[in-house]
Amino acid sequence: MCSRFSLYSTYPRFAHRIGDIRVDDPPVPRYNVAPGTWISSIRRQGDNPQLTFDSVWWGYKPKWAGETAPQPINARVETVATSKFYQAAFQRHRCLIPADGWFEWLPGTQPKQPHFLCREDREPFFFAGIWTERADGKPGVAILTESARGSAADVHDRMPLILTDDSIEPWLDPDLTDRETIRRFVRHVPAAAFTHWAVSTRMNKPGEGDDEGLLNPA
């Protein structure tokens, strides 16, 4: 699962890994990014081959869905290609969500103990995402998740799908629509690349701050 993350790296730290891109909304440092907010994304819009760095709403709900339909923030890699709710977006509307790390909560702790998970080398990375046009015409996104691997499994049984640099181009390629072809070309970052540590329980409430201190070891 991924229900909170941080993006504090400046755009130049990861721009060189993407190639030619139009920047509509440069990112500002955020340490406590919560669902139901605008988040940074890298995607193609319509038939335009130009990649765009812009903002999307963290909450996925296709415009054809009814009022009572869910608005998920995550989609499971195991079913995203076959679920009617996600299938079209998986085929045509894949995107990247840049991040420096994400938060999970250790089961069985009281109060719930959050952990910050990031790369050992502290490099920013990209979550795999899918987006759809919502009823209001705005783009809404879900972050893909997979079974937790490596040290991430110490904290939670799910983790975001984090792409290797050589997976970025095929993931964003609108001509790749077949699930098995995508699986051949798209890979996740090795489990050994990640680490985690306990952080302040201020993270237990989305509105409890958005500052660098949230990442300090508890």
Q: What burial letters (b/e) apply to 29-56, b meaning 16+ CB within 10 Å?
A: ebbbbbbeeebbbbbbbeeeeebbbbbb
Indicate the SS3 state at residue 208: coil
Is 146 among the catalytic positions?
A: no
Token pair for residue 33?
A: 């990014």
Contact indicator for 75, 69 with CB cutoff of 8 Å: no
Beta strands at 51-58 and 139-147: parallel, antiparallel or unpaired: parallel
Instruction: Tell me how far apart the alpha carbons of residues 168 and 126 are, in angstroms, rounded to a whole number.
Output: 9
DSSP-derived letter for residue 137 is: S
Instruction: Tell me how far apart the alpha carbons of residues 88 and 95 are, in angstroms, rounded to a whole number.
Output: 13
Instruction: Tell me how far apart the alpha carbons of residues 100 and 194 are, in angstroms, rounded to a whole number.
Output: 11
Side-chain half-sphere of 158: how many Cα atoms within 13 Å?
A: 13
104, 118, 120, 123: which one is catalytic? 104
Is 104 among the catalytic positions?
A: yes
Q: Which amino acid is at 207?
A: G
Show which residues are catalytic. 2, 104
